Amino acid sequence: ARFHGNPRSGRWELVGPRPPLAAMFADGTAPGADVQSLWRSARSARCEAKSCQTGRISTAETAVQSHTSRDAGVQTDQSKDAVQDFQQEVQVDYTSLLSFLQRVEDAVIKELNKNWKSRAFDGFEVNWTDQNETVLCLHTLSYPEAQDQNLQVTSVSWNATGSVVACSYGRLDGGDWSTEKSYVCTWNLDRRGLNPQRPDLVVDVPSSVMCLAFHPSQPSLIAGGLFGGELVVWDTSRTEDPVIWRTGMTDDTHTDPVYQVNWLPDAKHRNRARLLSVSTDGKILVWREERDGRLALAEGFAMVAQQIPRSTQLKKFAWGEAAVGVTSLSFSHFDPRVFVVGVEGGYSLKCSTAAETLALHRAGSSVPLRAPAELAFSPHGGPVYSVSCSPFHRQVLNLFLSCGTDGQVHLHSMLQTQPLVSLQLSKKYLFCVRWSPVRPLVFAAASGEGNCNKCFCFVGDVHLFDFGKSSQKPAVSIKQAAGECPVYCLEFNIKQTQLLAAGDATGTVKVWQLSSDFTEQGPREMTRLEQLASEITD
């Protein structure tokens, strides 16, 4: 640079070539680097387009039509024994048979004699099954809706296969005519999902059901007797309307509650049964099924006070033509025409279906009623609520039990009026008595105080009595209800003999499993029973 001008107002100025202004930085764009993609071309370099086609599938259209079919039924014939003729078909060589018998006869007679005198097996008993020592409550079944209405269990029944128990709800202590709705409930105990509060089937019934009975061979039919005197038969396998037969309210039906209903095998038609109903209006009626779902009266009996035979030892009561209220009935197991009834007057009567004399009954009915009573036994101190004939006894002296409100159980033989044994089981009423189906010396009785009064309640008991152990007091007394209400009904299960069902006034049914000594027959029970029966007093 050179100084120009005078020092007072000079200016400096650049000397020399002036450098370019923006020599070092300049804008510019640089071309970016890029790589061409090869994959498409690479791919297409290696791929080839191809197509394929499946070979021809041969198809054909055809139609199939089943041949016409026809329904046919097959039924095996009953009671034709296939081996009836075996004795004629088999060729018997008598000489060789004779020589065989002669050879063995001596040995057999010797063994028979030895056996008769042998004392080797006295008191020797073998236990094949585990002994169950106690009585357990297996199930406690109830229907809460019925319990809310304070209904009581009036009757229990086991079905033909022994796996279903049914109970009827109603009232046994209501004296007035009631139009209360009630129920019939069934539980299948062999089912896995058994809910004790929820019955498998609940049938609504417009009035109280007083008694129930399952059909002895068809597992789904139940008959029930109503408070109004009607009989109804339900079929539990039908879902829409289980009622299949009913008597309806006709001139023939009972005018009082039906307290017991039984199925009778019909002698003429094998697979049809007839129903028998017992009521406190004094009539015992036998019904048969009609086609339109009705039950029609087949034959009937009426108990009128004048026609009851009295022995000289019993006092005469002036009943006149009053009807005698029948509360229970039991058929003899050995003579199907003989049955025993218990009446409200405290008597048990032996009756026969073959009786011929007509009853002096006032009301007209479509079938003439007969008077069946043949023998009156010595009375209880109160109405008889239950009678039961022994299923075991072989000889003519049929045994039966009767129980009533005097708390006594009488063991009678049908040949004499005085009881063989008279037991004061409890101070309470006895509502039901049943023989055990397996042990000839055992029976069960249901007791309890008659009124379920809130202040004076006694615990209901089921008493199991064994004549082999003690003739005076029960072998086992089971307290049924933790609450305090009487036990009204009980039934043994014939197929599963260790089960006993009992229904009480709180509306529960308890299924008890009995200990082994109640289910296995001892070696000499029948003879002991026969001894008991032959202690006839004069």
Partner 1 sequence: AEVEETLKRIQAHKGVIATIVVNGEGIPIRTTLDNSTTVQYAGLLHQLTMKARSTVRDIDPQNELTFLRIRSKKHEIMVAPDKEYLLIVIQNPCE
Q: By the criterion CB under 8 A, which residues form the site for partner 1?
A: 81, 83-84, 86-87, 90, 92, 94, 96-98, 100-105, 107-109, 111-113, 115-116, 118-119, 121-122, 125, 521, 523-524, 527
Residues 6+ apart with CB under 8 A from 474: 425, 463, 464, 465
C-beta of residue 335 within 8 angstroms of C-beta of residue 286: no
Q: Do 351 and 340 form a contact (C-beta atoms < 8 A)?
A: yes
The residue (of 104 and 354) whose beta carbon lies closer to partner 1 is 104
Min dist. Cβ of residue 81 to partner 1 (A): 5
Please give the Cα distance from 157 to 403 (Å, whole number).
19
Dihedral sign, Cα of residue 254, residue 316, residue 450, residue 373:
negative
In the structure encoding, which two tokens stand for residue 480, read together? Answer: 């049924």
- What is the smallest separation between the CB atom of 104 and partner 1, expressed in angstroms? 4
CB closer to partner 1 out of 81 and 148: 81
Give the residue with the Cβ less far from partner 1, 265 or 523: 523
Which residues have a Cβ under 8 Å from the Cβ of 224 and sit 6 or more positions away? 155, 168, 184, 205, 209, 210, 211, 212, 213, 231, 232, 233, 234, 261
Is 121 or 456 the residue whose CB approaches partner 1 more closely?
Answer: 121
Residue 489 · residue 507 · CB < 8 Å: no
Q: For partner 1, which is the closer residue by CB, 125 or 241? A: 125
**CB of residue 524 to partner 1, shortest distance in Å:** 8
Cβ 225 to partner 1, closest distance in Å?
Answer: 37
SS (H, E, C) 250-316: CCCCCCCCEEEEEEEECCCCCCCEEEEEEECCCEEEEEEECCCCEEEEEEEEECEHHHCCCCCCCCC
CB of 112 to partner 1, least distance (A): 5
Tell me the C-alpha distance between 364 and 369, whole Å: 9
- The residue (of 6 and 102) whose beta carbon lies closer to partner 1 is 102
Which residue has 């009626």 as its token pair?
285
H-type helices in 90-126, by residue range? 94-117
Looking at beta carbons only, is 25 or 121 nearer to partner 1? 121
Closest CA to 135 of 464, 529, 530: 464
Name the minimum Å distance from CB 440 to partner 1: 12
CB of 116 to partner 1, least distance (A): 5
- DSSP annotation string for 72-99: ----PPSS--TTTTHHHHS---HHHHHH
Cβ at position 92, least distance to partner 1 in Å: 5
- Under DSSP, the state recorded for 358 is B
* Alpha carbon distance 240, 204 (integer Å): 12
Q: Least distance (Å) from partner 1 to the CB of residue 87?
A: 7
Q: In terms of CB distance, is 13 or 105 closer to partner 1? A: 105
Q: Which is nearer to partner 1, 439 or 463 (CB)?
A: 439
C-beta closer to partner 1: residue 145 or 520: 520
Q: Is 331 helix (H, G, I), strand (E, B) or coil?
A: strand
**Least spacing, CB of residue 82 vs partner 1, in Å:** 9
Phi/psi of residue 271, each to 5°?
-95, 5
